[in-house]
Amino acid sequence: MSANILGERFVAMSFGESHGKCIGIVVDGCPAGLQLDESDIQPLLDLRKPGQSTITTQRNEDDRVEIMSGVFNGFTTGAPICMIIWNKDSDSRPYDLIKTIPRPSHSDYPAIVKYGGFADYRGSGRFSGRLTATLVIAGAISQKLLKHSMGIETIAYTIQIGKIRAREIPLETAKTNRYTNDVRCPDYETAQKMKSAILSSKHDGDSLGGIIECVSVGLPVGFGEPIFGSLESDLSKAIFSIPAVKAVEFGSGFDGSKRRGSENNDLYIKRDGKIITKTNNSGGILGGLSTGMPIIIRIGFKPAASISKTQHTVDVLTGSEVDLKVPGRHDPCVVPRAPPVVESVVSMVLADHAIRGGFIQPVLKK
C-alpha cells in the first residue's frame, strides 16, 4: 500500500506539496447518506490555518476547501470524496537559496539522499506541516460520521508548552474552552504564560515544543483488530505521521511504568447496569481493543526546527561546512495549531475501525 494512504475501510489518500498549485485528499469508504458540504469542514480547517496570531506563521492562506466529488444533493453517495485547497501565498525564493543546504532537524538531508535531488524542496514539499490541512479535511468528515452514527467525540487541547504545564481540567471545561485562546489550552491562566514563553522564544530567534492531550468519548467495547491492527497500533502510526510528533503515550503511559501493578491496574466496577473501570490508567485500550472507557492520548511535539538563530550544517553539493540562518516564515511553536490536526487523525482511525468492526453500515439510515 502507498505511504500516502491511511486506513483500510475508511481510506484517505493525501496529495500535493506545500508550494504546489494545491493540496488535497481523497476519502474513500465514507458511507452513503451522510449530510455533507463545505460548511461541515471549514470551521475545523479555520482552527488550523496559518496567520491567526502572533505565535503562528504569517503565511496568509484562506484554506478554503472545495469538494470536487462524492457528494450529491448534499449527501455522500458512497463514491470517493475528493477535496482540495488552493495554495495562494507561497514564496519559494528563500528555499531556492538553500536547496542544497539541509536545515538542521528537517527532512532535507534524508530526502535529498532518498530521492536523488528530485524531491520538491519548496517549503519542505511533501514533508511540510502544510499537508496537515489535508488531514483536517478528512478528519472533519470522520468526526461528523462518528458523531452522527455513534455519538463519538474527540477533543484535543494543549497541556504543556516548553516546561509550562497546565493544571488538570475537567473534560467538559476543556471541550468548551480549548479554542478560546491562542495556545488552545483550556487553563486560561496557564495559557497566558504559555503564550508569553512562545513570544519570548520567538524574540530570541528560537522555538518551543509541547504536549497535546486528546480524549475520545462514547466508544463501545471492541474497536480494534489484534495483533497488528490493534487500536493503539493504528492510532500511534497515524499520530506519528503528523510532522514534529516525537512521542505518544496512552493512559498512564510512562508514569505507569514506574508503578506496581496494584497501583496501575484498572479495577472493574458496575455502574447503572454497565461494567466500567474504577480508574482509566489503560487509556481506554486493553489488548489493542477499546474498553468503552475514554481513550486518553498525550502527544509530544518537538520544538519547531526552523529558527532564525545561525546554525551549523553542510552544503551537500560542495561538501563544505557552512553556517545557516533559515529564511522564510515559520511557526515559533507548532503546538497551538496542532489540536484540530490531532482530533482529525484520531477520528480518521476511529472511523476506520468503526466500519471495519461493523459498527457503521455502508449506507446510513435517513
- Nine-digit cell string for 362: 455502508
Please name the residues in contact with 201: beta carbons below 8 A apart, sequence gap of 6 or more: 162, 207, 208, 332, 333
**Residue 336 scores a pLDDT above 80:** yes
57 is a domain residue = yes
For cell 525564493, the residue is 93
For the chain, give the percent of residues with pLDDT over 70: 96
Residue-wise pLDDT tens digits, 200-244? 999 999 999 999 999 999 999 999 999 999 999 999 999 999 999
362 is a domain residue = no
168 is a domain residue = yes
Q: Hey, what's the torsion of the CAs at 298, 302, 306, 309, to 10 degrees? A: 140
363 is a domain residue = no
Query: Cis link prior to 227 (omega < 30° from 0)?
Result: yes
Q: Which of 326, 316, 269 is nearest to 94 (CA)?
A: 326
**Residue 51 scores a pLDDT above 70:** no
Res 59: pLDDT: 59
How far, in Å, are 47, 77, 298, 309 from residue 133 at the CA level?
Answer: 10, 23, 21, 28
Alpha-carbon gap, residue 184 to 112, rounded angstroms:
35
253 is a domain residue = yes
Q: Which of 135, 63, 89 is nearest to 338 (CA)?
A: 135
Number of domains in the chain: 1
Query: Around Cβ 259, how many Cβ atoms within 10 Å?
Result: 12
> Which domain, by its residues, includes 352?
5-356
Alpha-carbon gap, residue 341 to 48, rounded angstroms:
7
Predicted confidence band of residue 57 (pLDDT cuts 50, 70, 90) = low
pTM: 0.95
Q: How far apart are the first and last CA of the chain?
A: 34
Burial class (CB in 10 A: 0-12, 13-18, 19+), 318: exposed
CATH number of the domain residue 146 falls in: 3.60.150.10
Predicted confidence band of residue 1 (pLDDT cuts 50, 70, 90) = low
272 is a domain residue = yes
More reliable by pLDDT, 50 or 284: 284
Residue-wise pLDDT tens digits, 119-173? 888 888 899 889 999 999 999 999 999 999 999 999 999 999 999 999 998 999 9
181 is a domain residue = yes
34 is a domain residue = yes
Q: Which of 228, 156, 214 is nearest to 8 (CA)?
A: 228
Are 130 and 18 in contact by the 8 Å Cβ rule? The answer is: yes
Kindly report the average pLDDT of the chain as a whole number: 93
More reliable by pLDDT, 316 or 92: 316
Strand locations in the chain, DSSP E? 5-6, 11-16, 22-28, 66-67, 71-72, 75-76, 81-86, 153-161, 164-165, 210-217, 245-250, 268-271, 274-277, 285-286, 289-290, 295-301, 311-314, 321-324
Res 20: pLDDT: 85
For cell 487553563, the residue is 187
Strand locations in 229-357, DSSP E? 245-250, 268-271, 274-277, 285-286, 289-290, 295-301, 311-314, 321-324
